[in-house]
Amino acid sequence: MRDATCLAVLILAAALTGCGPGKSDTGGAASTAASSTDASALDTPANRKLVEALGPAYAKADLANGQVHFALCRSCHTITKGGPNMTGPNLYGLFGRPSASVADYSYSEGMKGAHLVWGADTLNTWIKDPRAMVAGTKMSYPGMPDDKDRADLIAYLKVASSGGAN
Ligand code: HEC
């Protein structure tokens, strides 16, 4: 009886590890290269709709350029559903999400006290200069000064964090 239970647990564990990392594999240069080759595939009607919901400032956002700039974030963040926390928290479902709300991630005191809701406007301020927005944040990324690159990145974040790309 006990052996049978153990076996069942082992099979379950094998099944979980079998589908987990494979599905959420975003790591490495290979997958970045693979997704940028089909960058035009990002420009689907469904993805455009997601981006338009951000407001008129994003109507002409270049998703492929946003994806290229997300390479700067990928070393610390996954954005796919169920992706692991790395140096920074997983970003799936980011839009509309309160700051510091990934349960199994250990945020800085500064971020815990920030009480933001992530959306196009808050992300725009954050990505421009994280430390100016949240004093004491442990995100060491220095900021992205270029307005157009930031807008393109935010459009890409919207699509990718909604499961529309990786
Ligand atoms: C060097 C690693 C690093 C890089 C590069 C980086 N981040 Fe972060 N990020 C972090 C860390 C660490 C935190 C947690 C901050 C804290 O707790 O103060 C964070 C937090 C965040 C948050 C808040 C998430 C939440 O759950 O409240 C967002 C949004 C974010 N990063 C977006 C980005 C974007 C977009 C980029 C690329 C432009 C980026 N990060 C680049 C490490 C990084």
What is the Å distance from ligand 1's center to 138 Cα? 8
Q: Cα separation of 92 and 126, whole Å?
A: 17
The neighbour count for residue 85, using CB atoms within 10 Å, is 15
Q: Is any ligand 1 atom within 6 A of the Cβ of residue 106?
A: no
Residue nearest to atom 36 of ligand 1 (CA): 73
Q: Cα separation of 129 and 82, whole Å?
A: 27
pLDDT in tens, 97-142: 999 999 999 999 999 999 999 999 999 999 999 999 999 999 999 9
Nearest to 160 by CA among 55, 86, 61, 87: 61
Q: Is the pLDDT of residue 17 over 80?
A: no
| Per-residue model confidence (pLDDT) at position 39 | 59
Q: Is any ligand 1 atom within 6 A of the Cβ of residue 137?
A: yes
Q: Is any ligand 1 atom within 6 A of the Cβ of residue 141?
A: yes
Q: Is the pLDDT of residue 162 over 50?
A: yes
Using CA atoms, how far residue 78 sits from 2, 15, 25, in Å, is 39, 22, 9
Q: Is any ligand 1 atom within 6 A of the Cβ of residue 92?
A: no
pLDDT-derived band of residue 164, with 50, 70 and 90 as boundaries?
confident
